[in-house]
Amino acid sequence: MTMWGGRFQNSASQLFKLFNDSLSVDCQMVLQDIEGSIAWAEALTSVSVLDHDELESIVQGLHDIKESVILQPDQILQSQAEDIHSWVEQQLVAKIGSAGKKLHTGRSRNDQVVTDFKLWCREKASLLDSLLAQLIETIECKALEEAESTMPSYTHLQRAQPITFGFWLQAISAMLKKDRQRLALSSEINNQCPLGSGAIAGTAFAIDRHQLAEKLGFQNPTENALETVSDRDFVVDFLYSIATNMLHLSRACEDLIFFNSDEVGFIKLDDSVTSGSSLMPQKKNPDALELIRGKAATAISDLNALMITLKGLSLGYNKDLQQDKSVLFAAVESWQQCLLMFQQVISCITTCKEKMLASAQQSFVNATELADYMVSLGVPFRLAHEQTGQLVVFAEHKGKYLQELSLEDFHQVNADITEEVYQWLDVKHALTRREAFGGTAPARVRNASRSGDIEIGCAQAADAEEVIKLVDYWAKTGDNLPRTKNNVLTNLMSFKVAKNKQAKVVGCGSLHIYDDSLVEIRSLGVAPQSQGAGVGAALVLELMKQAAALGLTKVFVLTRKQTFFSHLGFELTSLDSLPEKVLKDCQYCLRKEACDEVAMIYHLVNH
């Protein structure tokens, strides 16, 4: 039975039903539809459309449907319902009777679907932001490892100036950080509740839409009912965030494919992210990177497709808008896969440091250094640039690089050049000179990966409440052991805290000493909004420094973040090798019955 059948004398054809129905797509929004329906039932009760008994019956019925769907999601597609809104209503009426037929009072599928869709987008945006944060953390950790891995940079695909692979990784990280900001801004701009807008002109019932918006976690209700039911800007914004990030990932993949080629050979991709050829036994193809690059094109076309659909629509609801969900659902799923895949690629890359360095040394990437050296002698830069170009041509004719020229060779162009020039021409020297903010100097790379906007220090009494909140947050997720407020306060001296520019605690971690050699890093946690900024790595490194200063030789962790700690130099170890007191603590873990933690250790004597 349809929600609109009263006007019609004949049934729709089977072909039209297949063409028109959207249940197979919008079934993904079932939980959001139930959430919105509960809020709407409460709003109807507030204006006496429903009595409290009816409200209780409706809410209980919707909760029962939710539990049933979670246990058996396939049941939805076995229905003949037109869409997910029809399905939920049909299920509710079947469960509680006529009271269920009152739920749609004052509500249209037009405002209902936009509400469901916005709730779905909010949930997915939060998930994807978390994946972006994890990817950035992985890249930043890798950048720390590769802070001194010297290689040439490229402009026009020609060798330009010496940089490090860590610096290249941070360039990718910088793009992804902006992508997180873009996604957050999109969520903020679209944080208005559509429910109560009706079909096009607003609801005729005196619903408090501000209260309704607050109930559903929105900042405000939408301002205009006509605009609300027409609005798909939030989908466009989401797709734009996806397309932009996929564009960034694609550019990174292009570089990595180039670096991995036999002709360049700067990196080696792990077997786990590559494939072979059915004919050529020697092949090891960078399929993961190529697929991400290919999927980026689809993401960009998805954005274009929706914008083309919207540009010709009049205000009000048009059935063309039904296409929005299939486009975004597929784009979100693809984006999630690409983020996870790219993280795996980065985490297991092997760098060929000697080949990188040789490629930088056996080139003219130090030409700018020669020009800068001449400037230090008092030569105007334009003249220094010209003289350096002349020396490059001279070196090419002799089959040499600049650092291989003799002093007599240099004097043919500039008689003031001294032996000091060879120090300037060393690519390592070129790196260390670029210590200005944003530069490629290894020290700058390390500082940036350890989050330059964050200060790490010992916890103070004034930090206690914020530390307790962080410890409690990650204990509730099961990622850390719970600690009482009194326990945290008693052991506050063992905590290090990370603070942002506003002096707010955004991360914490503590040491727990077991004997004169062994210490555990505990209660490590970063505020969700600060993930991906290198805070976690900075805290671990500071705690390790403290452990070394105390004369301890081994640091261990129990963790589910194996990749994160691997990048910081930790190695897997056996749980059986840990003190009995460690294993006793496991009894307080929320996941003790299904423990998926691994033990990892770092030997400070090798630090």
- Distance (Å, whole) CA 248 – CA 176: 8
- Distance (Å, whole) CA 561 – CA 135: 12
CB 317 within 8 A of CB 199: yes
- Distance (Å, whole) CA 250 – CA 290: 8
CB 115 within 8 A of CB 194: yes
Single-letter residue type at 574: S
Task: Tell me which of 11, 13, 24, 277 is the catalytic residue.
Answer: 277
Residue 504 main-chain phi, psi, to 5 deg = -95, 135
- What is 495-558 written as a DSSP string? EEEEE-TT--EEEEEEEEE-SSSEEEEEEEEE-GGGTTSSHHHHHHHHHHHHHHHTT--EEEEE
User: In the beta sheet, which residues pair with residue 159?
Assistant: 154
Q: Environment class of residue 397 by beta-carbon count within 10 Å: exposed (0-12), middle (13-18) or buried (19+)?
A: exposed
The SS3 of residue 414 is coil
CA 542 to the chain's CA centroid: 24
CB 330 within 8 A of CB 368: no
Is 156 a catalytic site residue?
A: yes
Provide the token pair at 263.
Answer: 């002709």
The SS3 of residue 329 is helix
Sheet hosting strand 518-526, strand order edge to edge = 455-458, 495-499, 505-513, 518-526, 554-559, 598-603, 571-573
**Which of 437, 376, 404, 368 is CA-nearest to residue 162?**
368
- What is 163-215 written as a DSSP string? EEHHHHHHHHHHHHHHHHHHHHHHHHHT-EE-TT-TTTT--SS---HHHHHHH
b/e code 450-476 from CB counts within 10 Å (16+ = b): bbeebebeebeeebbebbbebbbebbe
Is 376 a catalytic site residue?
A: no
Task: Tell me which of 48, 98, 156, 574 is the catalytic residue.
Answer: 156
b/e code 403-442 from CB counts within 10 Å (16+ = b): bebeeebbeebbeebeeebbebbebeebbeebeeeebbbb
- Distance (Å, whole) CA 245 – CA 49: 46
Active-site amino acid positions: 156, 277
